């Protein structure tokens, strides 16, 4: 049985549409206009135990709403979902003890307490034995290099330190399923790397099923072999990350090296592809995939080329272009 199974999951919200000004507010007392917003529209996917899956989509695509339904915070309008054999929105005690949800823009630690006391409170809530609690905290704080910050007020921690403490709080009870919504948002590159390494190790050691949303493509590339892409609440891609380039990138990058004195006839180059950059003796073109070989042959005939390199378009650029086209 898969750890997570979602079938035609849909969530819509009814929002009040207020007319501007005082008279609009007064009219709203007697007759209100509402509009229906569909946040998730028939999403379906399956995730096996131990998988680390990236959940991608532009702002407003329905990612966080989906995670909140899988965590039981929202009740769907229609459709079904099963996580570890439970219907999440029934909020069964057995389910709540086996999953964790970390929202990068929400706090679960007490702002005015030292991090240690917030973690102790979470440990008591989950009924963790003291020995197990201390062992877990010692191990996680060591791995994330924040042991010396346990007695610091949460409000006085840096953003990176606070996010590490939030992650520790989510993992205290050793959940089997972990939902991560932008866990590295706002972190510097060093903190991002530490969190990624920690998540990779935790997933490998504990076989935790992890569903990760992030706008940092480095998170997805380093951690996830599989991605689910959602837009306007609908899943339109589910498969290996490597397939995203194959399916949605219609061009490649061709970089050539020439002597610095070699002329680059721009009117000729534009016939071969889009000029991305030109500096000294280096030129980079974006070329349609089906024209790469004939373009390379033509360039070799036309220019005194010392070296030529063909690369795929960076995955973050493919995703960005894809979202723009879908939008």
| pTM for the full predicted model | 0.80
Q: How far is CA 2 from CA 81, 84, 266, in A?
A: 11, 8, 55
The CA distance from 232 to 22, in Å, is 34
**What integer best gives the mean pLDDT of the chain?**
87
Domain match, 169 and 288 both: no
What is the residue range of 168's domain?
4-246
Residues 216 and 283 occupy one common structural domain: no
- Select the more confidently predicted residue: 298 or 8: 8
Q: Are residues 229 and 266 in the same domain?
A: no
**For the segment 88-129, what is each residue's pLDDT rounded down to a tens digit?**
999 999 999 999 999 877 788 888 889 999 999 989 988 999
Same domain for 242 and 259, yes or no, is no
Same domain, 214 and 260: no
Domain shared by 300 and 238, yes or no: no
Domain total for the chain? Answer: 2
In angstroms, the CA 302 to CA 269 distance is: 10
Are the beta carbons of 151 and 201 closer than 8 angstroms? no
| CATH number of the domain to which 150 belongs | 3.40.50.300
The two tokens of residue 157 are 């921690």
Residue 152 has pLDDT above 80, yes or no: yes
Identify whether residues 170 and 294 lie together within a single domain. Answer: no
pLDDT at 327: 54
One domain for residues 234 and 281: no
Q: Please state, in angstroms and rounded to a whole number, the distance separating the CA atoms of residues 88 and 160.
A: 30
Q: Above 70 in pLDDT, residue 262? A: no
Same domain? For 129 and 159 the reply is: yes
Give the residue from 198, 224, 246 where a domain finishes. 246
Burial class, 321, CB count within 10 angstroms (exposed 0-12 / middle 13-18 / buried 19+):
middle
CA–chain centroid gap for 252, Å, is: 25
Q: Let me know whether 226 and 257 are in one domain.
A: no
């Amino acid at each position: 049985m898969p750890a997570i199974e979602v079938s035609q999951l849909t969530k819509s919200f009814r929002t009040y549409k207020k007319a501007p000004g005082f008279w609009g507010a007064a009219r709203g007392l007697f007759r209100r206009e509402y509009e229906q917003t569909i946040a998730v529209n028939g999403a379906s996917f399956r995730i096996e135990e131990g998988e680390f899956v990236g959940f991608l989509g532009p702002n407003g695509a329905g990612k966080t709403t989906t995670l909140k339904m899988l965590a039981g915070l929202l009740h769907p309008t229609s459709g079904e979902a099963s996580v570890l054999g439970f219907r999440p929105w029934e909020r069964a005690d057995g389910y709540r003890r086996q999953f964790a949800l970390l929202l990068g823009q929400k706090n679960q630690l007490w702002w005015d307490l030292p991090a240690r006391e917030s973690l102790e409170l979470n440990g008591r809530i989950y009924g963790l034995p003291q020995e197990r609690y201390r062992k877990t905290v010692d191990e996680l704080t060591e791995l994330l290099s924040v042991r010396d910050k346990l007695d610091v007020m949460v409000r006085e921690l840096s953003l990176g330190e606070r996010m590490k403490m939030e992650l520790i709080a989510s993992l205290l009870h050793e959940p089997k399923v972990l939902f991560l919504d932008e866990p590295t948002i706002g972190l510097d590159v060093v903190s991002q790397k530490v969190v990624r390494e920690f998540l990779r190790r935790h997933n490998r050691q504990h076989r935790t099923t992890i569903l990760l949303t992030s706008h940092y493509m480095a998170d997805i590339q380093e951690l996830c072999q599989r991605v689910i892409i959602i837009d306007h609440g609908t899943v339109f891609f589910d498969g290996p990350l490597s397939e995203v380039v194959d399916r949605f990138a219609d061009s490649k990058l061709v970089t050539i090296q020439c002597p610095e004195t070699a002329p680059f006839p721009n009117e000729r180059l534009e016939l071969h592809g889009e000029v991305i950059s030109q500096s000294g003796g280096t030129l980079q073109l974006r070329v349609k995939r089906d024209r790469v070989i004939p373009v390379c042959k033509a360039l070799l005939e036309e220019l005194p080329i010392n070296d030529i390199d063909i690369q795929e378009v960076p995955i973050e650029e493919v995703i960005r272009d894809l979202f723009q086209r879908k939008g």
